[in-house]
Chains A and B, each alone.
Chain A
Amino acid sequence: MELFEFLQYPFMQRALVAGILLGVLLAALGVFVTLRRMAFFGEGIAHASLAGIAIAILVGMNPLPIAMIWAVILALLIFILEQKTKLPIDTVIGIFFTSSMALGVVLMSFTTGFQPELLSFLFGSILSVSISDLWTIAIPTIVILIWLFSSQRQLTFLSLSEEQAIVSGIPVRLQTALLYIALAIATVLGVKILGIILVSALLIIPPAISRLHAKSFRSHMILAVLFSEVIIVLGLALSFLYDLPSGAVIVLVGAFLFLLSLLFSH
């Protein structure tokens, strides 16, 4: 079939594996992002990771691990400030998002010549995923998913009612901090395929579509992951078929499915 012709190319196979892994991860975390109304977190961390990418490019290292470490530090700072001050989380994220991105821009000005790495992180480059990138994506993804599925009841409870969760003995602070760290890592990994500008779409669109159809939390989670995979595979195939930027096509497929779901959900 012409649509799936892209599967015969090794770079597309690697792209598909990366997409499928990140599709599960971002959609599963996205369920909690939408429940907690923290969509801005993904957006903020993605933009803030520019400073990590700039540092890696300046010192000649692989940008993905450095950006991940940078994002985790920021996520922890956001968590600590949220706990210690009375500032709303979106304000705290906004401060770090803009200042870290500004730092990234300043650091980038020290690099000379054309920076293909920078462009690939701004708009994503799923087609350039290497075998070592696949490992960098697969290992954290598996670790986060194991934690997420073993903690999903606790995460749901603390997201619905933090006080009840504390009283029932759930380690709320620890699990919240771990959720922020997991989100930071997942967002940076997502930057590789969708880019800084579009990555939060995969955190938000699949759970949003799933919510329109799901009747239980279990079905919400399963549908979010399924929609995420459909969006990524279809987006990749269409971008290959029509020679279009893959990250943008993935997001547009997601938006189209969301509109379609809106029409047929009631």
Chain B
Amino acid sequence: MIQVKNLSVAFGHQTILSHVSFNVQHGEIAAVIGPNGSGKTTLIRAILGLISSEGEVLIENEHPSHIRAHVGYVPQRFRFDPDFPITVKEYLDLPRPHVHKKEYSQKLKEVGLEASILHKPLGSLSGGQLQRVLIAQATIHHPSLLILDEPSTGIDIVGEEQFYDLLKEQRDQHGTTIILVSHDIAVISSIVDQVICVNKKLICFGPPKQALTQEKLSELYGKKDAALYSHHQHH
């Protein structure tokens, strides 16, 4: 279980997040939503212990830095020079060497990739393939928590649906708790158990149908944009 209590983040005098609290239960998929600049990525980074924050974050009752081995993370931007010579296998090896090739083949199959991709240069992959490799690397050690920051960026709509199916499979097969940052309320509403709406503070939290009311969407996105999001959500 992930417990976030009174989490606040400030950069200098600027408050980015103020007193955010929520719990995500084991095996749930939760989506962090909110407009641009609302503090979604900051929330994720604070949960991971990548930035200093006030308040408390517990993952399986432990401080995030104490249970690194149980956490997988796919960042918002994985910017690397595509000409840098590194194969997919070498990239997968980076955090944990000596993983058996069979394990890689199985993991790649799970994320919808062929084992033959192992020897391809990482820079030659498409956006969708790269995203799947990032997930394979983040989940090869079967983490109890997988955190993804805007994972569907750069993937087309068909790829996006397959991508969310893949996350559901991760949860169903391995019981992984998943927290993801997303812009796409329409898509995530159908797959997530909880939504965490933030705009500098916690606006709403709970199952999408209960939490994403017109009133909360207006508070989150402003009245004009909320109508658009609400429209998408019901289609």
Contacts and interface: CB of A to CB of B under 8 A. Distances in A.
Contacts of B81: 35
Interface string A13-40: 0000000000000000000000100000
B94 A166 contact: no
Interface in A193-236: 211, 214-220
A135 B87 CA distance: 37
B87 A169 contact: no
B75 A161 contact: yes
Contacts of A85: none
Contacts of A170: 95
A217 B86 contact: yes
B124 to A, nearest CB: 10
B69 interface: yes
B50 interface: yes
B69 A169 contact: yes
A54 B73 CA distance: 49
Interface string B40-83: 00000100101000000000000000001101110100101101
A167 B50 contact: yes
Interface residues of A, number: 23
A165 B73 CA distance: 10
A168 B87 contact: no
B93 interface: yes
Contacts of B48: 163, 166-167
Interface stretch (A88-96, A152-160, A183-191, A242-250): A152-160
A157 B86 contact: no
A111 interface: no
Contacts of A136: none
Nearest to B89: A216
A169 B73 CA distance: 12
Helix, strand, loop or mixed for chain A's interface? helix
Contact of B83 (A165, A166, A168, A211): A211
A156 B86 contact: yes
Contacts of A217: 85-87, 90
B86 A216 contact: yes
Contacts of A218: 90
Contacts of A167: 48, 50, 68, 71-73
B234 to A, nearest CB: 36
Contact of B78 (A161, A166, A216, A220): A161
Interface residues of B, number: 27
Nearest to A167: B73
A151 B97 CA distance: 11
Nearest to B67: A169
Contacts of A99: none
A164 B83 contact: no
Interface string B80-117: 11011111001101111100000000000000000000
Given A165-B95, A216-B85, A217-B85, A160 B73 contact: no
A23 B97 CA distance: 27
Interface centre among B85, B90, B137 (most CB of A within 10 A): B85
A215 B85 contact: yes
B121 interface: yes
A214 B80 CA distance: 17
Contacts of A153: 93-95, 97
A146 B21 CA distance: 47
Contact of A163 (B75, B90, B93): B75
Given A163-B73, A166-B50, A167-B73, A157 B84 contact: no
B68 A168 contact: yes
B94 A169 contact: no
7 contacts: A163-B45, A163-B73, A164-B138, A167-B72, A169-B68, A169-B69, A217-B87
Given A163-B45, A164-B75, 7 more contacts: A160-B91, A160-B94, A161-B75, A164-B137, A168-B95, A214-B85, A217-B87
- Shortest 9 CB-CB distances between A and B: which pairs? A169-B68, A168-B95, A157-B94, A214-B85, A167-B73, A217-B86, A220-B85, A216-B87, A217-B90
